[in-house]
Structures are given as C-alpha cells and as structure tokens.
Amino acid sequence: MTIMTDLFDNENSERAELVRLRHALQDANYRYYVLNDPQLTDREFDMQLKRLQELEARYPDLVTPDSPTQKVGSDLSGRTNGFEQVAHRYPMLSLANTYNREEIEDWVRRLPDGVEIVAELKYDGLSISLHYENGRLVRALTRGDGVRGDDVLRNIMTIRSVPTYIPALPAYYEIRGEVLLPWQAFERLNTERAANEDPLFANPRNAASGTLKLLDPAEVARRGLTCFLYHVLGDNISGLTHTERLEQARHWGFPVSEHIRVCHSVDEVMDFIAHWNTARKELPVATDGVVLKVNSLAQQQQLGFTAKTPRWAIAYKFPAEKQLTVLRQITYQVGRTGVITPVANLDPVQLSGTMVQRATLHNEDFVRQLDIHEGDRVWVEKGGEIIPKITGKESGSSVSSEPYRFPTVCPECGTPLVRVEGEAAWRCPNENGCPPQQKGKIEHFVSRKAMNIDGIGEETVDMLWQKHLLTNIADLYDLKVQDLSGLEGMGLRSAERIIDGIEASKQVPWERVLFAIGIRMVGETTAKKIARRFRSLQELQWASMEQLTAVEDVGEQIAANIVRYFADSDNQQLLIRLQQAGLQMEAPEEQKTVQRHELDGMSVVISGVFARHSRDEYKQLIEQHGGKNTGSISKKTSFVLAGDNMGPEKRRKAEQLGIRLVGEDEFLEMINLSQNN
C-alpha cells in the first residue's frame, strides 16, 4: 500500500514538474525572443528542455500544442508592433543542440554511410529569411513563431552587404541567414546607452534583435548591422549540394561566410570545432557554436524533419568562454532590495571581447561551497548576462584555509544583517535609511515601466542624492527647475525636461504607481492584479492577509510584504506626500467595477468548455467576486468550475480529493448572476 502511494505521489509530482517546466520554458522563450532579456543561459534552457521532453514521453496526455518541445520560440511582438506579419513559405525551424563528441557521434550514426558533412560557424544573432521575386528583394522575415514572421524589410535594406537586385536570380529565390551586430558596433552602442542612462544590452544578439525591431530605419542604419547567409531555398535552383548552392550565392554577391569545411569523419568535424573554439575570438562578430549539415540535398530530403528540427542538421554549442585570474578582494554590494551580494574584484582578464575586473559571487553559500578566498586563482565566465560570474577555482590554488566570514553588518549603513529563512541572501533591513536602497528605490520609481520620468537615471539620482536634493521618492515632487539647472552637466533644457517628466508622471495610472513605490516582490504584473482588486490606495491599505492572498499570484509572502509596507510609518508619510503631490492613487471612476465578495478566500479551478461565458470571462468573474483562479487542483481548491469535456485527469484528481464540481449555471447562481439577474 505504501509503495502504491509512493508511486502515485511520484507520478503526481512528476506531472506537476512537467507543467511547471512547460510554463517556465514558455516564459524563458518570451524573455529571449520578445523582450530580448534572457534569464536562462542557452545551456540551462537546453537542459530543462531535455527534462521536459523526458517527462512528456512519460505522460503524453500532458503534451500541449504550445509546449516549447512542439514549437520554436516566438519573436512575434504582437499585432501592434508596426511590422506586417507574413506566413513563411517554408517553416523556419531551429536546430537540435549538442555539447560533446559523443552526441555528434550519435547523430552521425543515424546518417547514411559515407555521408559528407558541412561544418559552418554558428553565428549568434537572429535568423532572417530574404525573399527575392524576379531578382528583387521584396520581403525580409524574422523567424517569428516559425510559421509567420515580422517583415522587417526596411531595416534589412540598411545592411550594405545585402543585395537588393540581382537580375540573374530565378523567379523565386529565398535565402536565409543571421543578422548580427559586430562586437565593435555593440560596444559603441552600449557606451552611448550608458551615457544616456539607458539600460544596456546584455550581448550583441540582444542588441541586434532590439535593433531589427526598431521602427526608425535611420537609427537602424546608424547602429551598423551586418549579415551572413547560410541556407538557400526556393524553386528551380541549380546545385545538388548545399555547398554548391552557397558557392552560387556567393558568386551572385550574397554575403556567405568563407569559414566552411566539408568533412568526411567525426575527427575532421572535431578539428574544425577545436580550431574555431579559439580562433572565433578574433572574429568581428559573435559565434556560439558550429552547425553541421548533410551536404547532399537528396540525402537531406530523405532524412527529413522532426516537428521542430531537421534531421539533416545539428548544432554544436561552444562551452561558455572562461578565464583563470586572481581574486584580489571580495567586496560587498547592497542592492535596491537590500540584498548583499559578494563581488569578486579580479586581476583584469579579457573575456568574450571585453575586459573583466569584477564578477558576482552570488551569495554566502556559494562562496563557502566553492571554498573561495582572497588570493585564490578563480574561473570567471560570461553567460548571456551583463555581469560575469565566478564558476570555480583552480584546484590547489588556495592561499588561505581561514573559514570564510560573511559580514554581519551592512557595509553601507552599519545595520546588522538578517537572513530570511529559506533564502540564500543576507539583507540589510534598513529599507528607509540605507543609501543604496534608497537610491535604488528612486531609480526604480522613475524607470520606464514605473513612473517613466525621462532624463533621470542612476547618475542623476546619485548627484541629486549627494546634493541632498533627493532622499526619497516624494522629494522628486518638490524639485524645481532652478534646483537642477546649473548642476554638473545639466543645462536649463535638461532641467526643464526632468521637471516636465515629473509633472507628467502625475497622470500615471494607479496600477503603475503601485508597482513604482517598490513593495518587495510586487512586480509589474502582480501590481496590476492587485490594483484591479483594490481600486484605491485606501482600499489596499486596509486589506487583510486573507483578502490579499485571494488575489491571483499573491501568496503569503507577498501579502505579508504588503501588510508590512503599509504598517511602516515612514512609508505612510511618503504616501501622504505622494497623494498631496497629486499622484493617481485610485482607478478612474469609469473603470471601477463593483467588487463583490461572494467568493472571498476561495480558490477555483476552471476546466472544460462553457456555453454562457468564455474561460477568460469566468476567470474575471471569479476575481471580481473575491475568488482566486488557480491552474491545478490541490487540497486547497474550493471547487472546480466544470464545463463540458472536462479533462479526465482533472476529474480523477477532483474525485480523489473530494472536491466538488460546480456547473456553470450553479456557479452563476452562486455569484448571483443567474439569468434572472
């Protein structure tokens, strides 16, 4: 019996893991392709994707068509992004990744004997498909979701090496490749952005992607994109092999890379990889691996495709570049939320095109686990992020065996540090008195997604702080043009621009004000959900833990942070000042929907198909009546709002936990919305 229960628990937890992974990877795709703000390294993504594939093989009933295993990530930025979305003539797929010789050997074993393999560099930009009709470039599509892409022709036209008219081309010709921002252009762009206090791009790939989606071709031209093309498609194209087609394209004037080798064995492939693993550092553009392709087009056709990738091609990813250097000193940085991060100050080393002197050591546990001390020789690595990280130390390089001691007080304000149970981070609890936390709060408050006050960034906040003109967010609304103009690097124009921006911020809606004031763990989306339920500051201030946790995405911890925030008298003072300054502390009248309480504290799962309202409408109704809509059934579920064709899995789970199924009519009665009302 126990064994049975264990098996059952194990199955349940794997099923939950599958769903969690699917959502996490969908989110990662969105951040990578649309926001250009990757949170996972490619390797982390691939590892998690592999795990998801394993789980989906075990639980095929949980495979959904939108799973990241079934479709490529999407860079489509929505209907209003200013580009026309066009269907691809041939789907734009991605490649399966490999990381070592064994995985390449596995792939080669599945190919016909004696096959020719073309090794090419894998350029790290974003893919583009160029369409030529009667010799003329007529469209340039991004990958999009693999089926449809954004037509960014006007921006592609700014790349000088891309031909716009070649009379010799067949009537329809399509060639695909990679758009890139060269290292030099990337560095220049980031230097400019730093000077303007704009957020920096983490790597050239993100910069290229951000650039290609700009609506101003003149600005695109200024940034200096470039391009390599590596895949010819289309009708009536001569050439029996991939290399013949590439040569033909090069001959016509297309930018095709010279660094290509036809290989006849895995040894030859590994040679190419070993060579470029080092030589790539001298290239003007970023590469992240090598692509291997079957050369014969007939063999390519025989091998065909899986749902997501061709069987005739595969990518090998270079290991992240790392360097050994000496760790001179560990210092401590205090973040906006008071988290103390140990920082490694290093002997400078060259890494992926830039000089690195500082790298994160994450937290106390990390430093202890790696047994790192000042004076050790350590490995430093750059992932997809701006900040490099320490990943290990050279064995036997330790100069000290002293146990590592994390500071006990804040290096900035001297307040004793606290460690929240279950968290790796130490924090300075002096939220309203610790300078970097205060400055960080102001920077967050003025940032684009919060109050969007133009002209103020980190450096300006720092300067105003030094001059005692700004000690908290409410001080912003006391600033006058004459306070600012005349400060270092600030003319009358910029001073006026800032004051205008501050004035305009008084119109920013309540949901963004709530995000801007910086309650711990209340991000943009959570703030929106809270503001939809509590339509004014006054309502929110008096909310109980129970009412708060009834809001979707708000758990005990966030609710406790909100309650704690409003209980603090300094925060109360700030809010009074902000209100007096005229900020929007409530939702406009016309948007107010009456909040009802029939479902207060209830957690409702929706399943199946409905006749009277859509699932989204039901979700809204649940929230408007004080309930919380959750995705999966658990002991905490109050009831399931069940429509037709409810999933068998959900039904079984509900029965097993004794959770009631409520039909849509009964539900509408519960919230007093049955048809008579």
- CB atoms near residue 20 (< 10 Å): 13
CB 18 within 8 A of CB 59: yes
| Binding status of residue 272 toward ligand IVH by CB under 6 A | no
Which one among 224, 234, 255, 310 touches ligand IVH, defined by CB under 6 A? 310
> Least distance in Å: CB of 66 to ligand IVH?
19
User: How far apart, in whole angstroms, are the C-alpha atoms of residue 649 and residue 657?
Assistant: 12
Among 86, 225, 291, 343, binds ligand IVH (CB under 6 A): 291
Half-sphere exposure of 405 (CA within 13 A, CB side): 4
**Cα–Cα distance, 388 to 362 (Å, whole number):** 11
Which of residues 127 and 158 has its CB atom nearest to ligand IVH in the complex? 127
- 97-98 and 322-334: which strand pairing? unpaired
Query: What are the φ and ψ backbone dihedral angles of 110, each rounded to 5 degrees?
Result: -85, 0
Stretch that binds ligand IVH, among 77-85, 87-95, 559-567, 632-640 (CB under 6 A): 87-95
CA angle 366, 370, 374 (to 5 degrees): 95
| Contacts (Cβ under 8 Å, ≥6 apart) of 19 | 62, 631, 632
* Segment interacting with ligand IVH, rule: CB under 6 A, options 44-52, 118-126, 520-528, 611-619: 118-126
Closest residue to ligand IVH in the complex (CB): 127
- Kindly indicate which of the ranges 115-123, 372-380, 396-404, 545-553 contains the residues binding ligand IVH, using the contact rule CB under 6 A: 115-123
Give the range of 11-19, 119-127, 195-203, 476-484 binding ligand IVH by CB under 6 A: 119-127
What is the spatial distance between Cα 632 and Cα 15, in angstroms, rounded to a whole number? 11
Residue 652 burial (C-beta neighbours within 10 Å; 0-12, 13-18, 19+): exposed
DSSP 112: P
- Candidate ranges 89-97, 240-248, 365-373, 574-582; the one touching ligand IVH (CB under 6 A): 89-97
Among 178, 364, 381, 623, binds ligand IVH (CB under 6 A): 178
Q: Whole-angstrom Cα distance, residue 453 to residue 446?
A: 5
Residue 127, interface with ligand IVH (CB under 6 A)? Answer: yes
Q: Which residue, 32 or 426, is less far from ligand IVH as judged by CB?
A: 32
Token pair listed for 46: 């691939």
Distance, CA of 176 to CA of 245 (rounded, Å): 12
Measured distance CA(166)–CA(131) in Å, rounded: 12
CB 91, min distance to ligand IVH, A: 9
Say what the alpha-carbon torsion angle 382, 384, 285, 259 is, to the nearest 10 degrees. 90
Residue from 56, 75, 120, 443 binding ligand IVH (CB under 6 A): 120
Q: Based on CB atoms, which residue is closest to ligand IVH, 94 or 391?
A: 94
Out of 33, 123, 201, 534, the only residue in the binding site for ligand IVH (CB under 6 A) is 123
Closest CB to ligand IVH among residues 177, 342: 177
196, burial (CB in 10 Å: exposed 0-12, middle 13-18, buried 19+): exposed
Containing H/E element for 262?
strand 260-263
Angle (deg, nearest 10), helices 2-33 and 42-58: 140
Q: Name the 3-class secondary structure at 508.
A: coil
> Quick one: tokens of 598?
């029939």
Unique residue bearing structure tokens 């309930």: 627
Query: Is the Cβ of residue 226 or residue 607 nearer to ligand IVH in the bound state?
Result: 226
Note whether 280 binds ligand IVH by CB under 6 A.
Answer: no
In whole angstroms, the minimum distance from the beta carbon of 14 to ligand IVH comes to 28
Q: Which stretch binds ligand IVH (CB under 6 A): 91-99, 103-111, 427-435, 438-446?
A: 91-99
Q: Which two tokens stand for residue 363?
A: 């937290």
Q: How far is the CB of 641 from ligand IVH (least distance, A)?
A: 41
Q: What is the largest CA-CA distance in the chain?
A: 81
Give least dist CB 118 to ligand IVH, A. Answer: 9
424-463 footprint of ligand IVH as x/- string (CB under 6 A): ----------------------------------------
Which of 49, 95, 446, 551 contacts ligand IVH by CB under 6 A? 95
The neighbour count for residue 290, using CB atoms within 10 Å, is 26
Q: Does 122 bind ligand IVH (CB under 6 A)?
A: yes
Neighbours of 86 (CB within 10 A): 18
367 touching ligand IVH, by CB under 6 A: no
How far apart are CB 515 and ligand IVH at their closest, in Å? 35
Residue closer to ligand IVH by CB (options 69, 584) is 69
What is the number of other CB atoms lying within 10 angstroms of the CB of residue 565?
Answer: 19
> Which residues are catalytically annotated?
122
Distance CA 564, CA 562 (A): 5
Give how many residues touch ligand IVH by CB under 6 A.
Answer: 14
**CA proximity to 340, closest of 443, 439, 441, 416:** 416
* Segment contacting ligand IVH by CB under 6 A, of 116-124, 133-141, 295-303, 658-666: 116-124
Our CB check for ligand IVH shows the closer of 134 and 161 to be 161
- State in angstroms the smallest separation of the CB of 103 from ligand IVH: 15
Return d(Cα 428, Cα 419) in angstroms, integer: 9
When the beta carbons of 123 and 201 are compared against ligand IVH, the nearer one is: 123
Contact call for residue 313 and ligand IVH (CB under 6 A): yes
- Residue closer to ligand IVH (CB basis): 306 or 677: 306
Could you tell me the smallest distance in angstroms from the CB atom of residue 260 to ligand IVH?
Answer: 8
- Provide the minimum distance between the beta carbon of 228 and ligand IVH in the complex, in angstroms, as a whole number: 7
Interface residue with ligand IVH among 93, 285, 367, 370 (CB under 6 A) is 93
x/- track of binding to ligand IVH for residues 220-259 (CB under 6 A): ----------xx----------------------------
Please state the closest distance from residue 47 (CB atom) to ligand IVH, in A: 16
Closest contact distance (angstroms) between CB of 381 and ligand IVH is 21
Which tokens hold the place of 76?
């489509």
Q: For ligand IVH, give the closer residue by CB, 297 or 463.
A: 297
Strand 639-642, strand 661-662: pairing: parallel
Q: What is the DSSP string of 3-57?
A: HHHHHHHHHHHHHHHHHHHHHHHHHHHHHHHTSS---S-HHHHHHHHHHHHHHHH
* Chain contacts with ligand IVH (rule: CB under 6 A): 93-95, 120, 122-123, 127, 178, 230-231, 291, 310, 313, 315
